[in-house]
């Protein structure tokens, strides 16, 4: 009887020890599982980052090749166009051709539009060395805001600018002006009358961010990957050169453009890296 009790207490101790070991093993297993989950999450993020970078690289590569080709072409086409425009203007003023006046006007308008496309394209692909200066983005936005407001008013839309606390940036002011105007114009064009465009600036640990937010219908899912491709447009009179220009300018400033879009509108975020002091 005593031996049996003794035996069972020993067994009990063994049982407790095993149980303890089991608990520890279970904790270790959970710990391993957590680490595996963490690593899997990190891996997923890295894969997404890689996919995004590959996409950006392809886009930039495509932009470069097409750009160089078109730059040469653009220059060549402009000269004969100027000649044609001159003759059209001369013919337009002839009294015996007065009945065709509206046709001449239309032809000249179309030529001017073609010229505008070429001008936009050339400024997109120009690779002239430009001067970077340390400037305040808020000051630049303040200066060009009347221009943006004028754009808004002609379309019956509103626009607000909310400057945040940011540090100065190395930039080429007329390029950034062009970028903001292009993003703002797209925002206005995407909104119904009375819509309001919000431009604001802020800072996080790594970047200075310029945000241009509209209250439009958003961008169709199948169009998102095409943003920034030269000549991609969904507008009847669009050139599809505004965004490529923005991407190009952002790239020259080592900035990245993020797009957030949904049925309530679209936000373009331009992230400039914080300058090293
Ligand atoms: P364009 O304005 O001449 O069409 P862009 O390069 O500026 O050329 O824009 C290309 C296309 O991207 C537009 O036609 C439009 O479909 C889409 N897009 C750009 N910005 C916006 C926006 N804020 N909201 C909705 N769609 C947009
Ligand atoms: Mg545009």
The CA distance from 89 to 93, in Å, is 7
How many CA within 13 A on the CB side of residue 223? 15
Residue 7: what pLDDT? 60
How confident is the prediction for the chain on average, in pLDDT? 89
3-state secondary structure 189-250: HHCCCCCEEEEEEEECCCEEEEEEECCCCCCCHHHHCCCCCCCCCCCCCCCCCHHHHHHHHH
212 CB near ligand 1 (under 6 Å):
no
Which CATH number fits the domain that encloses residue 231? 3.30.565.10
190 CB near ligand 1 (under 6 Å):
yes
Q: Tell me the ligand closest to 227's alpha carbon.
A: 1
The CA distance from 240 to 256, in Å, is 19
Give the pLDDT confidence of 166-218 residue by residue, as tens digits: 999 999 988 899 899 999 999 999 999 999 999 999 999 999 999 999 999 99
Q: pLDDT grade, residue 71 (50/70/90)? A: confident
179 CB near ligand 1 (under 6 Å):
no
The CA distance from 205 to 274, in Å, is 8
- Range from 4-18, 67-81, 110-124, 222-236 that averages highest in pLDDT: 222-236
Is 180 or 69 the better-scoring residue by pLDDT? 180
- Pick the residue whose CA is nearest to atom 8 on ligand 1: 240
Residue 4: what pLDDT? 53
Give the pLDDT confidence of 225-272 residue by residue, as tens digits: 999 988 899 998 888 989 998 998 999 899 999 999 999 999 999 999
Give the pLDDT confidence of 91-100 residue by residue, as tens digits: 999 999 999 9
- Report the domain count for the chain: 2
| Residue 167 belongs to domain spanning | 133-273
Structure letter (DSSP) for residue 274: P
- As a dihedral over the C-alpha atoms of residue 200, residue 203, residue 204, residue 209, rounded to 10 degrees, the angle is 50
Residues 10 and 27 in one domain: yes
Residues 39 and 171 in one domain: no
CA of 85 to the centre of ligand 1 (A): 30
- The residues near 201 (Cβ < 8 Å, ≥ 6 apart) are 137, 138, 141, 162, 163, 164, 166, 208, 209, 210, 211
238 CB near ligand 1 (under 6 Å):
yes
74 CB near ligand 1 (under 6 Å):
no
Among 220, 245, 217, residue whose Cα is nearest residue 230: 245
Residues 97 and 163 in one domain: no
219 CB near ligand 1 (under 6 Å):
yes
Q: Of 128, 143, 178, which residue constitutes the final position of a domain?
A: 128
Instruction: Say whether pLDDT at 111 is over 70.
Output: yes
Instruction: Say whether pLDDT at 5 is over 60.
Output: no
Residues 48 and 84 in one domain: yes
Strands (E), the chain: 133-135, 158-162, 169-171, 196-203, 207-213, 256-262, 265-273
Residues 176 and 243 in one domain: yes
Residue 277: what pLDDT? 72
- Is-above-0.75 flag for pTM? no
Instruction: Say whether pLDDT at 75 is over 90.
Output: no
Is 53 or 211 the better-scoring residue by pLDDT? 211
Residues 108 and 137 in one domain: no
Question: Which DSSP helix (H) or strand (E) runs through 3?
Answer: helix 2-92
Residue 124: what pLDDT? 67
CA of 212 to the centre of ligand 2 (A): 13
The CA distance from 244 to 253, in Å, is 14
Residue 96: what pLDDT? 92
CA of 138 to the centre of ligand 2 (A): 23
CA of 186 to the centre of ligand 1 (A): 5
Q: Of 101, 128, 155, which residue constitutes the final position of a domain?
A: 128
For the chain, give the percent of residues with pLDDT over 70.
Answer: 94
CA of 242 to the centre of ligand 1 (A): 8
3-state secondary structure of 167: coil
**For the CA of 265, the nearest atom of ligand 1:** 24
The CA distance from 44 to 63, in Å, is 29
Alpha carbon distances (Å) from 224 to 40, 126, 141: 28, 26, 27
How far does Cα 95 stand from its chain's mean position?
51
Q: Of 61, 95, 128, which residue constitutes the final position of a domain?
A: 128
Give the pLDDT confidence of 132-143 residue by residue, as tens digits: 999 999 999 999
Residues 88 and 139 in one domain: no
242 CB near ligand 1 (under 6 Å):
yes
192 CB near ligand 1 (under 6 Å):
no
Residues 21 and 95 in one domain: yes
Residues 37 and 123 in one domain: yes
Residues 16 and 124 in one domain: yes
Residues 188 and 208 in one domain: yes
Q: pLDDT grade, residue 128 (50/70/90)? A: low
CA of 7 to the centre of ligand 2 (A): 87
Residues 254 and 180 in one domain: yes
């Amino acid at each position: 009887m005593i031996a049996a009790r003794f035996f069972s207490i020993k067994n009990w101790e063994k049982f407790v020890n095993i149980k303890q070991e089991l608990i520890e093993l279970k904790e270790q297993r959970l710990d391993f599982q957590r680490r595996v989950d963490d690593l899997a999450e990190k891996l997923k993020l890295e894969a997404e980052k890689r996919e995004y970078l590959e996409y950006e690289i392809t886009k930039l590569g495509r932009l470069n090749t097409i750009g160089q080709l078109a730059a040469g072409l653009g220059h060549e086409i402009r000269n004969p166009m100027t000649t044609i425009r001159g003759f059209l203007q001369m013919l337009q003023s002839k009294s015996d051709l007065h009945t065709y006046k509206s046709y001449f006007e239309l032809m000249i308008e179309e030529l001017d539009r073609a010229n505008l496309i070429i001008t936009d394209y050339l400024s997109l692909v120009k690779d002239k060395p430009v001067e970077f200066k340390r400037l305040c983005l808020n000051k630049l936005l303040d200066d060009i805001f009347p221009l943006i407001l004028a754009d808004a008013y002609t379309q019956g839309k509103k626009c607000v600018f909310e400057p945040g606390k940011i540090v100065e940036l190395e930039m080429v002011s007329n390029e950034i002006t062009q970028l903001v105007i292009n993003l703002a114009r797209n925002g206005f064009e995407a909104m119904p009358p009375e819509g309001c465009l919000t431009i604001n600036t802020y800072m996080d640990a790594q970047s200075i961010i310029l945000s241009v937010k509209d209250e439009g219908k958003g961008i169709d899912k199948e169009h998102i990957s095409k943003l920034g491709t030269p000549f991609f447009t969904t507008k009847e009179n669009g050139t599809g050169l505004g965004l490529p220009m923005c991407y190009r300018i952002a790239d020259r400033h080592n900035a990245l453009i993020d797009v957030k879009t949904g049925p309530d509108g679209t936000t373009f975020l331009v992230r400039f890296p914080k300058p090293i002091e």
